[in-house]
Homo-oligomer: A and B are copies of this chain.
Amino acid sequence: MAVTLKDVATLAGVSVKTVSNVVNGYAFVKPENRRRVEEALAATGYRPNVGARNLRRGRTGFLALMVPELSIPYFGELAGLVITAAQRRGWSVLIEQTQGTRTRERATVDSLGPHLVDGALVHPEALEAGDFPDPGMGIPMVLLGEHAVDVELDRVAIDNVQAAHSAVSHLVSLGRRRIAAIGVNPRRGTASLRVAGYTAALTDAGLSVVDSLMEPADKYHRANGAAAMKRLLSLPEPPDAVFCFNDLLAVGALRSVAERGLRVPEDIAIVGFDNTEESAFSLPSLTTISPDKAAIAEAAIDLVNGRIIGTENASPREVQPPFSLEIRESTAGVSSPAGR
């Protein structure tokens, strides 16, 4: 059924290897034969058997991308970019979902044998240092969006502390004084970094860090943001601004504020994180930290690709793609559009 090199060879009247040579662009093939082979290739519609080729080459041609859930917009967007970047380098991407649980993340990380994939991009949520297989043992791995875990791997992530700092400083510059945070979670590496940036910015502004304004969130879904915001609004002294650790939390927060009949940003300013497409269209649109997702995807692919191709055993590299603060209605809006 499927066309093999042998079929092409028979048709062209040459050996299998000569066909292989043509396919792989080997220089020394008589023009006459090359022409015949190429015709045969075209006539049969030959396609290399990737499995066999990789068996021989000791590669699989696949990379794994481990994320919590594709249904979370940030990961959907990131995965799309990763797939595109990978394709440019000739890799196919396999996606594994972990729901952000440590158990499943651990299971995934050490099921990534060298046979299934040649390398992996790992976006952990709850993984700890000891959970990783010995680097050097398994396949090349690149850590995404995570700078807190202490393990000898390449990493790609924006400067979370700096980003959080600039988000909160923005709120400070608008004159806000009771600035809350939603998404505090000691088990998440990035959350701790964002908390650090948050408290640093407050301190730098001469504001005090108030425990009751630091709302935890287990999952970073819209519902969690809504619930956290509700709690903040029923404080004796509610906040006048909130920094949410991702856009989904912020979207949830927007809803709770609206349900209370308060206005964004007049009564409460809100900043998100991730600049997902959704944040540009929420009502009001969200001011948010915008990591350069395309740069993240590129860098990550570059790193695994380098580790796989290159035989070099250099020490782990750390790439920090740029980010920016996207200022929109939720902090700078003239008024909540629906509000008047």
Contact = CB atoms under 8 A, between A and B. Distances in A.
Interface stretch (A15-23, A47-55, A232-240): A47-55
Contacts of A313: none
A114 B92 CA distance: 15
A71 B76 contact: yes
A133 to B, nearest CB: 10
Most buried by B among A93, A252, A258: A258
B259 A337 contact: yes
B114 A258 contact: no
A70 B48 CA distance: 28
A100 interface: no
A55 B51 contact: yes
Contacts of A2: 113-115
Interface stretch (A77-85, A148-156, A167-175, A300-308): A77-85
Nearest to A96: B83
A254 to B, nearest CB: 7
A116 interface: yes
Nearest to A77: B71
Instruction: Determine the interface band of chain A, counting residues with CB < 8 A from chain B.
Output: 35 or more
A76 B70 CA distance: 5
A50 B115 contact: yes
A252 B277 contact: no
A255 B281 contact: yes
A104 to B, nearest CB: 11
Contact of A115 (B49, B62, B114, B221): B49
Interface string A67-103: 0011111011101100110000000111111000000
Given A52-B115, A71-B80, A258-B337, 8 more contacts: A47-B113, A51-B60, A62-B94, A70-B70, A70-B77, A251-B278, A255-B337, A338-B338
18 contacts: A2-B115, A48-B115, A49-B55, A51-B54, A55-B55, A69-B80, A71-B277, A73-B278, A79-B95, A83-B95, A84-B97, A95-B95, A222-B277, A255-B337, A258-B283, A282-B283, A283-B283, A338-B339
The 3 closest A-B pairs by CB, nearest first: A76-B76, A70-B80, A338-B338
